A and B are shown apart, each in its own frame.
Chain A
C-alpha cells in the first residue's frame, strides 16, 4: 500500500459526459501528479500540483482540468468524454516538487467511456 488513495476504482460512463476523479496523497506529501495509461499512448504525464499551485502541464487536453485543494487532495475533471478517453488514470504524490523525489502511485481509476 503506497498510502495514496484514489476514488472511484472503476467508472463507466457515456460519451459527452463529465466525471471527476479524486486523489488523496500520502500524509505529508505536498505534490500531486496525474498520469494517464492507455494501450496506445502508454503512460503519459498530465499535470503536477505543488501545495495548491499548478507546477507543470503535459499533453493534457483542454477538456481536462485539475485542482489541488487546501487539504492537498486533488481532483481531475474530464468533460465532453470521448471513447478515446478510456484509460487508467493514476495519481502519484511526493514530498517535494523536484525530479529527485520518489513518486508514490495510487491504485488508479479505470475509466471506460461507452
Chain B
C-alpha cells in the first residue's frame, strides 16, 4: 500500500524567513508527486508537481520542491515567506496505473507571523 507522511502538522515561521515542509512517501513503484495549498474556506490549488526529469521542481508563488528517490522524499521549500502564505499544505501522490487517484498526506498548517 502506498502512503504519504507529512512530518510536521504545524509549522510556525516569521515573515521573510525560509521554510521547508517535509513529505515522505512509500511506494514500491514509480509515483507522481504533488503539492497542493488550501487557503481557509477554499478548495485546493496546485502549487507544483513532479512527473519525471529534473528533480528540482519550481511552482507558483515562489515555491519549489525537490524529489529525492533514495530518501523517498518530496520536501517543499520557499526562501522567504509572506503573511499571505498562511494556509494548509498537502503533499499527494498518484500511481500511473491507478489512474488519477490522489493519496494525500495529513497536511501541514503553515502559520506566518509578522
Interface pairs A-B: 3 shortest CB-CB: A99-B94, A105-B43, A43-B104
Contact B102 A107 (CB under 8 A): no
For the side of the interface on B, what is the size category?
A: 20 to 34
- Checking A56, A92, A94, A96 against B98 with a beta-carbon cut-off of 8 angstroms, the contacting residue is A56
Q: Is A42 an interface residue (CB 8 A)?
A: yes
- Checking B42, B43, B95, B104 against A42 with a beta-carbon cut-off of 8 angstroms, the contacting residue is B104
Q: Is A25 an interface residue (CB 8 A)?
A: no
Indicate with 1 or 0, residue by residue over B79-100, a CB within 8 angstroms of chain A CB atoms. 0000000000010101111111
Contact A45 B45 (CB under 8 A): no
Question: B65 → chain A, closest Cβ, in Å?
Answer: 15
Q: Is A31 an interface residue (CB 8 A)?
A: yes
Question: A50 → chain B, closest Cβ, in Å?
Answer: 8
Contact B101 A58 (CB under 8 A): yes
Contact A35 B100 (CB under 8 A): no
Q: Is A103 an interface residue (CB 8 A)?
A: yes
For the side of the interface on A, what is the size category?
A: 20 to 34
Question: B56 → chain A, closest Cβ, in Å?
Answer: 18
User: Using a CB–CB distance below 8 Å, which chain B residues touch chain A?
Assistant: 31-32, 36, 42-46, 49, 51, 90, 92, 94-107
Further contacts, 11 of them, CB under 8 A, given A2-B45, A4-B43, A98-B99: A33-B100, A42-B105, A43-B92, A90-B44, A99-B94, A99-B98, A99-B100, A100-B94, A100-B96, A107-B43, A108-B43
- Checking B90, B96, B105, B106 against A99 with a beta-carbon cut-off of 8 angstroms, the contacting residue is B96
- How far, in angstroms, from A87 to B58 measured CA to CA in the complex? 32
Q: Nearest residue in A to B49 (C-beta to C-beta)?
A: A102
Q: Nearest residue in B to A33 (C-beta to C-beta)?
A: B100
